[in-house]
Every structure is written in C-alpha cells, then in structure tokens.
Amino acid sequence: MANGLPNPLLTAGAARSLVDSVDAFLFDCDGVIWKGDQLIEGVPETLDLLRKMGKKLVFVTNNSRKSRRQYSKKFRALGLEVTEEEIFTSSFAAAMFLKLNNFPPEKKVYVVGEDGILEELRLAGFECLGGPEDGKKNILLEANFYFEHDKSVGAVIVGLDQYFNYYKMQYASLCIRENPGCLFIATNRDPTGHMTSAQEWPGAGTMVAAVSCSVQKEPIVVGKPSSFLMDFLLKSFNLETSRMCMVGDRLDTDILFGQNTGCKTLLVLSGVTTLSELQDASNTIHPDLYTNSIYDLVGLLQQ
C-alpha cells in the first residue's frame, strides 16, 4: 500500500517508481489488452514503451478457449507482436501440470472445454477425448439406459466450454468418481468473462462449479489465482517475483494471483471491476495501485 491509503491511484511518481522497481510486467489479456475481439485504446503504445524501457512482457490469461499458438495469432491480428513464448494460458498450464506431474502417457484426458485445451494437450503428447465434439452428444435419461465411460481416463480437465452439456457433465463425473486416482483439474474458476465485446458471459467457474457439485470434490486449479502458473513461469524465465508487476482487471484472479505469488499489483478499470467495487467495504483484495487503463502509464511516464 504505497501511500497508506487502501487503494492508491497510479500517479506520475508511482508510475516512475513502479517501472524502476520491476523487470517484468505480467498482463492479463481480457479487460486489459482487449475486450472480446476489440483492442483497448493505447495498448500498442504502452507495450512499445515498456519494451523500449527494457521490460520483459508476459501475457497470462485464464481463458482456455485458445492455445498459445491461437493466442499469438490473435495478438498479431490486433497488430501486436507477441510471441508464443510470451503467452501463458490456462489451457497450456493444464497440459504443463500433467507433464510436470508425470501423467502416464498410456492414460487419457477427458476434456470439458474447447479447442485450446485439446491443442495444448496434443502438443504435450497426451491423448484426449471430449471437447467440442461431445457438445453434440445427447443422452437418454430413460429407465435402463447405461452410460459407458472410458476406464483409461486418468484426468479430467474442466475449462470454459460454450458447448457444455449434460452428457459431458456425466462423462466427467463418472471418470472422476469411478476411475481410480483420476485427477480433477480446473483451468480456472472465473465466474464470468468478457467473451464478447458487449457483454459478460458465464466463465469456466460455472462449468467447474457444476462438475464439482456433481462429484462433491474440489478441483486442482492451474490458472490464476493458483500459484502453479507462476511456478512454471519462473522455471521458464530468469525472474524474481518481487521484481514483477501483475496487471489485471479482476481482483479475485489477477490481483490475488499477483499477491499470492509476491508480485507488485496494478488493477486497471478497463475490464470487469468498477471503482465502486474496488472501494466497497466488502472488498478484501487491495491492489498496490490502480488506474483506468494501461495506457495511463504512457502519459504518466512522459510527464
């Protein structure tokens, strides 16, 4: 808490000392870099300035709908030069979690989620089933219908899934309940997200809540605010968390993630959190600094 106030606004002085005290900026994407498919104003200038100042930039998103490769295409389509190696998605984190935990290659992974998870799992060498394809499948909730599932599934990954249905919920539940040792992994628990520019939509947290209720078990979370993503990130880069700043629009994922892992934290109001939510007495998560959008850095650093 820079100046003793619970939520200090980013000023020119605070911006300067923030930039001086960190080597890397970790950016959440949705609500910070873009909203849906729309770039937020001033983002290219801000990223350019920070790169020119020698800062390392990392993009950390809980959105599991795309793989790192697909995200790097999205960045390029929006006119931003960002490499795959600079992108950490919760879909990638889920695949890396299995890899680091020596998930047996003969076991399969059942996916409640979209293509991003499937692609990252395949790139990591895992066999998976489920995904968008199972969104077309129906069940017959009738008398003697028996739902079969693959006994060789050793992990279920649940992420955001616009094709979520009862079939997948039962498939995931049976694997978790009946396959001995089957892992239950959540990409993240965000209740909502700006999946389109205009509106909030149910987030991965809703699918996770449904499956978790069905199996009466809590998942392992690999995305923000879990520290797994950070541990993996630190292994990939030569960085210290005390010299990093996490920039995000969500208190309960981005800012909490930054705090859980020992980063400095900057909340931007260009996404889901409003100033009144930040300042509400019920809020217990306080960033080190807040500002309207990352573009403010450009103006403040040039004063």
Which residues are annotated as catalytic? Answer: 28, 30
* DSSP string over 222-256: -STTSTHHHHHHHHHS---GGGEEEEES-IIIIIH
Contact between 144 and a second copy (CB under 8 A)? yes
Choice between 116 and 263, CB closer to a second copy: 116
Stretch in the footprint of a second copy (CB under 8 A) among 52-60, 161-169, 222-230, 271-279: 161-169
Q: Which one of residues 8, 44, 132, 202 is an interface residue with a second copy (CB under 8 A)? A: 202
Site for a second copy, residues 225 to 244, rule: CB under 8 A: none
Are 134 and 171 within 8 A, CB to CB?
A: yes
Say whether 109 sits in a helix, a strand or coil.
Answer: strand
Q: How many residues bind a second copy (CB under 8 A)?
A: 44
Rounded to an integer, what is the distance from CA 204 to the centroid of its chain?
10
Stretch in the footprint of a second copy (CB under 8 A) among 49-57, 198-206, 224-232, 260-268: 198-206
Contact between 282 and a second copy (CB under 8 A)? no
Stretch in the footprint of a second copy (CB under 8 A) among 10-18, 205-213, 222-230, 286-294: 205-213
Beta strand extents in the chain (DSSP E only):
24-27, 34-35, 38-39, 56-61, 87-89, 108-112, 127-130, 153-158, 183-186, 192-193, 201-202, 220-221, 244-248, 264-268, 289-291
CB atoms inside a 10 Å sphere around CB 56 = 17
DSSP state of 151: T
Contact between 113 and a second copy (CB under 8 A)? no
Residue 86's identity, in one-letter code, is E
Residues 6+ apart with CB under 8 A from 11: 300
Contact between 285 and a second copy (CB under 8 A)? no
Q: Which one of residues 5, 52, 102, 145 is an interface residue with a second copy (CB under 8 A)? A: 145
Write out the residues near a second copy by the rule CB under 8 A: 36-38, 139, 141-147, 161-166, 169-170, 173-174, 189, 191-192, 195-199, 201-203, 205-216
Binding residues for Mg(2+): 28, 30, 249
